[in-house]
Structure 1
Amino acid sequence: MHHILCGLAANPALPSELVDRLISQADDDLAEDLADDLACRADLSRAQALALAGRVEEGAVRLAYEGRLTAADVDPAVRPDVALALLDQAAGASHPEWARLIAADPDHERREKLAACPGLPPDVVDTLAADPDVRVVAELALWTTAQDLVARLAAHPHAEVRRAVAANEATPPAVLAALLTGDGLPAARQCLVCDREEIPFVHDPECSRPDCDLLAGASCDGSHESTVHNLREAAIRNPATPVEAVVAFADHPSMLLRWALATREDLPRQACARLAADAVPGIRADLAENPALDETLIRVLADDPDPAVRRALAHHPRVPLDVLVRLAATAKVAATLLPRVAAASPAEVEDLASSPNPAARVLVAHRRDLPPETRDRLAEDPDAKVVKALAPHPGLTEAQLRAIVERHGVRVLAKVATNPDATPALLDELTRREPPVQKAFREIARHRAAPASALLACLTDRQARPLAAGHPSLPPTVIAELLTDENWQVAEAAAANPSLPVAVMSDLAWRQ
């Protein structure tokens, strides 16, 4: 029954008095999901929000994040988690006493959450920076925007705090560079590994200790090597770290550090060239999408032996169109609209659409803003892949969509079903095509114009059934029958269907 109530709680047509009824039930072991759905209702009144907040802590936290509660509604001594949610949204910024209260909370997880909140009073920041639990200090180091504080925490004796400083984009560039090299900083004295284990120690990736939260492979021999490695990776990924401080890592023996470097968008050409020759395909693939690549290196990577690299290169925003067309033919990259095609000029669009190469026409057919004459010409393309890419384009007439189906059959059926202008009659016909196309049923079940007859057909497909159960065009009697479906997702979708009769909603709400 719980999933039925959750569906009802999300039903936009649920009468206000039944919302009140569900709120009155949100107090059992399954209250969290129900309260979450209720808290997200667009029509929830202030009185209902306060009633829900008074019954379920999780619901009150969600309501705070949804902006339904104010500082006046919360006593931080009684409901610190709700107060934290408001502080996180800066809604409690005018109540520094809240932050001071939570900074002294014995629960370290609350202090950690507080450390991530914006606009904390300076005295609270100082308190958190001196917290006895290093996890709290590390969280503060990760989120604070006070440059003097992150500069101070960069010299913290615990390596985990330094790692957090390295990931913080508010950290001054000179401090980030120092963290990478260690120059000018005292050596770290602790890490999470040597805090807990006798060194030397390497954490077994298959560790079975239920209370162990060390990362797989975490290690320390006195130099805190795994944390230092993680610190370097964080600093390399941090865009505030000066590029001259990271380029030397292009030849580093650590694959992970080279991989992090490949995503930097400010890399000089020499570093890009070294990474383009890296032995790890994943590094070359991430580099292939990097806007820092120049045309020469783009053309080099276009001949990469690994198809994943070539597929990634197709997503580069400045890949030359001639290279992109070649990639489309060899690396299966034309399943979506690519950035370079999305940015193509009208002349380039016409060149692609008029190309004798079907791979070029497929690329441009994914655009949804084609000139009508170009769209109509591609709708008559002899290549099924081109037409499949074009089929969801708005503006196609029912006659054009029917012609597409007649010419290309099952290859285009699912895509035609996604067209926003597909008519109820066409969608109904698509469900009766032989052989049936299962993906088409799912698309039809999502379509706003799907008629009842088509939706009934969709109910016969296992994957489309939950989608069809929530469609408002489904007959009310059928929706009511689906409430007892053996698949709980179908039953929940039916309960959330706005066409469910109010009498049935009432019966369900009062049945508990």
Structure 2
Amino acid sequence: MPVVYALLRGLAANPALPPELLDRLVALADDELAGVLAGRDDLGRTRALALARRVGEAAVSLAYGGRLAAADVEPAEWPEAALALLDRGEAPAAWARAFAVDPDPARRGRLAACPGLPADVTERLARDPVPDVVAELASWAPADTAARLAAHPHLSVRRAVAGNDATPSAVLESLLTGEGLPPARRCRVCAAEGAAAQPVLLPGERCDGDHGSALGHLREALLRHPATPARAAARFADDPAPMVRRAVAGRADLPREACVRLAADTLPMVRTALGENPALDDDLVRSLAGDPDPQMRRAVARHPRVPLDVLVPLARSTALGSALPPRIAAASADETEALASSGEPAARRLVALRRDLPAPVRDRLADDPDAKVAAAVAPHPGLSGARLRAVLVRHGRKVATGVAANPDAPATLLEELARHEPPVRRALREIARHPAATPPALLACLADARSRPLAARHPALPPTVLAALLADADEDVREAAAANPSLPPAAMAKLLPDP
């Protein structure tokens, strides 16, 4: 990205850009700048129209953003913007009728995805000769239309019906079993034979007259649909296709017998999909917690009802990351207290990941002698500056990132962290984003390559430092500095070419 262009992009995003400079940016916008400008809250109707007239493609995002109305848009001039307004439900029905006979199938497809279409438009689109148009309609159509399109001869349309939330359960079951529906006659692969425009096929897509890959994708979609009856889905727990078994394993309504079969699957990806399934009872959860595959054990740790006496050993033996397990998030007050008081550091660390702990529990965990426990609780809101400082003194760089991420970390502590030797780079990135960061702390962050763009955008940076960053060798830093609301208006004006 050229030096000047990075600066212009930053200016286009700067929330403190004066109105007269915003007008100048609109007047020189190209496609990329227009995309940034279209998202500004202070654009207004007059500038939105000017921007759309300069860069027609911007009219779409302006329409979706509510900055252009139907009165501002002529469908013949800005057809994509007109379709955006139809998608928002803010355009006259006459536009929908006109697009329904548009010679461009891509536009008919975008129309088919719009809500609240007139009945005659829906009917016409359902009979469209291009399967992709009908499939787009089938993805969003109401229940009666989706049910009718389930019998469409093209499998792309049936696959779209299978992904529609409004499709009735009985129709989903018929698509899964094939009962009550005529056989499909075409799929993407066989329909492409001899066609002038060949579709881009995905790896593994094939058709030997049996529409094999398309039927497999249809089955997976049906098995993932929560309204597909459980009794029908469970029949596929032993399907030879691994992706089909994985789709079954993720269903929360599986009978226990199907869960038992899937728990014995030879493929880890199938067992992993089953691991966090709420359909598992305690016995199966306990069994799967001993799985040799670490991904499987992590999945069990995410099970919403995993027993705590299973979860804690998992946390001790398996790297679970910093995400809060659902079972810990739902722990009762008594369970929370028991975990926080446990002699097992893994148990204390798990509960320390919560961000809604009672103050006494929070403070006790911050004083924990185990660095992993203290690091987990360090970002918890409400910790005092004195306690955060004590955590840092006790555990050093092991807790520095968590302390820096605490929203209540005082400015003086952030400055001390920023000067830590050797630097804690992840902590510097947190400091560069912290609202309380001071100029001295931010100057230290500028010394780190990954923290530098973040610090360059921080409004606490002094104008003299910002001015130097506008000429930085890193284009991300230049752009961030130009987007900084503390940049003086006079400095902003100098970044723009002469009118």
Q: Structure 1 length normalisation: TM-score?
A: 0.94
Rounded Cα–Cα distance in structure 2 between residues aligned with 1:230 and 1:370: 45
Rounded Cα–Cα distance in structure 2 between residues aligned with 1:320 and 1:421: 34
The answer to whether 1:126 aligns with 2:123 is yes
The answer to whether 1:140 aligns with 2:137 is yes
Match of 2:262? 275
The answer to whether 1:349 aligns with 2:345 is no
Match of 2:416? 429
The answer to whether 1:45 aligns with 2:44 is yes
Matches for 1:196-211 after TM superposition, within 5 Å: 196-197=192-193
- How far apart are residue 2 of structure 1 and its match? 2.1
- How far apart are residue 87 of structure 1 and its match? 0.9
Rounded Cα–Cα distance in structure 2 between residues aligned with 1:57 and 1:268: 55
1:155 alignment partner, one of 151, 155, 162: 151
Rounded Cα–Cα distance in structure 2 between residues aligned with 1:162 and 1:263: 22
| AA matched with 2:310 | V
Paired residue secondary structure (1:251): coil
Q: 1:334·1:363 contact (CA, 8 Å) conserved in 2?
A: no
Match of 1:206? none
Q: 2:13·2:36 contact (CA, 8 Å) conserved in 1?
A: yes
Q: 2:289·2:297 contact (CA, 8 Å) conserved in 1?
A: yes
1:109 alignment partner, one of 106, 109, 114: 106
| AA matched with 2:295 | A
- How far apart are residue 3 of structure 1 and its match? 2.2
Partner deviation per Cα, 1:377-418 (whole Å, 9 max, x = no partner): 112111000000011112222221111111111111111111
Q: 2:192·2:199 contact (CA, 8 Å) conserved in 1?
A: no
1:185 alignment partner, one of 181, 185, 198: 181
Match of 1:166? 162
- How far apart are residue 211 of structure 1 and its match? 6.2
480-489 vs 15-24, which moves further:
480-489
Q: 1:157·1:189 contact (CA, 8 Å) conserved in 2?
A: yes
Matches for 1:329-348 after TM superposition, within 5 Å: 329-333=316-320, 335-348=322-335
- How far apart are residue 346 of structure 1 and its match? 1.2
| AA matched with 1:162 | R
The answer to whether 1:60 aligns with 2:63 is no
Runs ≥4 in structure 1, deviation > 3 angstroms? none
The answer to whether 1:18 aligns with 2:21 is yes
- How far apart are residue 453 of structure 1 and its match? 0.8
| AA matched with 1:157 | P
Match of 2:172? 176
1:448 alignment partner, one of 435, 438, 441: 435
Q: 1:328·1:334 contact (CA, 8 Å) conserved in 2?
A: no
Q: 2:192·2:198 contact (CA, 8 Å) conserved in 1?
A: no
Give the fraction of aligned pairs with identical amino acids, expressed as a percent: 61
Rounded Cα–Cα distance in structure 2 between residues aligned with 1:421 and 1:353: 22
| AA matched with 1:416 | V
Match of 1:205? none
Rounded Cα–Cα distance in structure 2 between residues aligned with 1:446 and 1:369: 22
Match of 1:323? 310
Aligned residues: 495
Matches for 1:390-401 after TM superposition, within 5 Å: 390-401=377-388
Q: 1:334·1:362 contact (CA, 8 Å) conserved in 2?
A: no
1:254 alignment partner, one of 241, 246, 254: 241
2:5 alignment partner, one of 2, 6, 9: 2
| AA matched with 1:52 | L
Q: Which runs of 5+ in 2 are unaligned?
A: none
Q: 1:471·1:497 contact (CA, 8 Å) conserved in 2?
A: yes
Paired residue secondary structure (1:409): helix
Rounded Cα–Cα distance in structure 2 between residues aligned with 1:12 and 1:20: 14
Q: 1:24 to 1:334 in 2, by over 3 A?
A: closer
Q: Structure 2 length normalisation: TM-score?
A: 0.96
| AA matched with 1:63 | L
39-48 vs 404-413, which moves further:
39-48
